[in-house]
Structure 1
């Protein structure tokens, strides 16, 4: 993961992330009572929902801030701090569920992520996930790139947003047969008059690493101004999300 989370602000201003995860859960075909790993569980909101659906679930996340918040909020559930690209489960699970996580992992580390997932599933176990797909937040990232360039700086895309055709072979190389995949647009409402600026400050951190705070504020301000015509509608800010939703089954041990 390439981000340090501000856990309480994330929970307060960006609760739409786990809210949309409810639809991803509906792809799970395993019956109640099955063992589930919520990979990249964040503050545990969806881990709680999975438990309420009758699954035996535990959460894992690389962020100590979010794991501490999850443990405090849901003390009856089990949470582990762990790296999605380097973990091993002593007891394999029936389902690995993940929402809004995989795009945070660099392209060259995706095979490590998928290997860990395949290794942690029982035979015929399923991966159910959603993350940013090709074109995700393209307007925002293009506007940021433009403002960086105006200030003599290069903008490094901090995310990995694949197509279905790019990602499915990575899964199948590890014996995870893709049974369902869809790439779809989802304009997403942001909270408050400063919704877009807050979104950039929360989610787009690494390109600003080491930058003077006044220059950072200037770039964000100009980026927001440039996007007002397209992403500010009827008094509300939106982010131009594109999501990749997948269900894959482990067919090889």
Structure 2
């Protein structure tokens, strides 16, 4: 196999700048946090990386083990990592906004890395889907489901906040950016389907009827601005960070 061509093809077709930042090398030991269905871990494995994929979802681990039995997957929450000086790199994409407190995750990642090991991550940051979450919370207050000082159960930090946490825990931050990228959801029911799947924790302990009323109201409020040509186009915010364990 032509390793150089395979590496270039993977970088250009999946992950782009994130993979350029990670720059996986043959023989490296890399940990992926939030391995999901295992696709990324399998691609890294095909490049000659010794990859370990972890995920807190039993269903995701079962799927990834079924599809990629040659890759090492484990059901582990990033809050419970107990590796020490084991990995050349730790990688995570679209996961860390779901895990808090972030300080515990950062400490665990730092401990898992070898000296000069790198941490590369991309996840949702400050103001992620702000119009959507703002309207959902407003409706939940209207229905007396939450109080007005309630905050969403996700971690959407600013660049300054997150890089400061990394530096406080021994990392040397090499690069960090915050950017907006459209989240496109097909068809009129795309937004409510997304909320029902990715923000389901906001709707615990309410009746299906009330939930549908809230979905209707959110759609009515946002449709004029964000729904055009049979798709929702919403402002998704991301932070992308590369840091190195130098001490």
* TM-score greater than 0.5 by the shorter chain: yes
Structure 1 residues 22 and 82: alpha-carbon distance in aligned structure 2, compared to 1, 3 A threshold: farther
Q: Which of 144, 148, 152 is equivalent to 2:144?
A: 152
How large is the Cα RMSD of the aligned pairs? 1.7
Q: Distance in 1 between matches of 2:214 and 2:74?
A: 37
- Aligned pair count? 232
Unaligned runs of 5+ in 2: 1-12
C-alpha spacing 1:81/1:197, structure 2 compared with 1 (3 Å): same
1:47-84 CA deviation, whole Å, 9 max, x = no partner?
12222233211100011111111111211211000010
Output the CA distance in 2 between the equivalents of 1:188 and 1:49.
24
Q: Structure 1 residue aligned with 2:169, among 165, 174, 178?
A: 174
CA distance in 1, matches of 2:103, 2:37: 26
Give, in whole Å, the separation in 2 of the partners of 1:53 and 1:194.
39
The correspondence for 2:95, drawn from 94, 101, 104, is 101
**Bigger Cα Rg:** 2
1:14 matched residue in structure 2 = none
Distance in 1 between residues matched to 2:53 and 2:240, nearest whole Å: 20
Structure 2 match to 1:85: 79
Q: Which residue of 1 aligns with 2:209?
A: 214
Q: Residues 162 and 20 of structure 1: is their aligned pair in 2 closer, same or farther, counting only changes over 3 Å? A: farther
Determine if contact 2:85/2:115 at 8 Å carries over to the other structure: no
Once the two structures are TM-superposed, the CA of residue 22 in structure 1 deviates from its matched residue by 4.7
Aligned to 1:140: 132
3-state secondary structure, aligned to 2:88: strand
* C-alpha distance 148-192 of structure 1, shift in aligned 2 (>3 A): same
Aligned mate of 1:50, from 44, 48, 59: 44
Q: Secondary structure at the match of 1:165?
A: helix
Partner of 1:227: 222
State the match for 2:186 in structure 1.
Answer: 191
Alignment of 1:231-250 (within 5 A): 231-250=226-245
Partners of 1:132 and 1:90 lie apart in 2 by 27
CA distance in 1, matches of 2:192, 2:64: 26
Q: Distance in 2 between matches of 1:127 and 1:59?
A: 15
Q: 1:221 to 1:53 in 2, by over 3 A?
A: farther
Deviation of 1:151 after TM superposition, in Å, equals 1.4
Is residue 35 from structure 1 mapped to residue 29 from structure 2 by the alignment? yes
TM-superposition CA deviations, 1:24-59 (whole Å, max 9, x none): 122113522211111111111211222223321110
TM-score w.r.t. the length of structure 1 is 0.86
What SS does the aligned partner of 2:90 have? strand
- Choose which of 104, 113, 116 in structure 1 pairs with 2:108: 116
Where 2:205 maps in the other structure, the secondary structure is: coil
SS of the equivalent of 1:85 reads helix
TM superposition score normalised by structure 2: 0.88
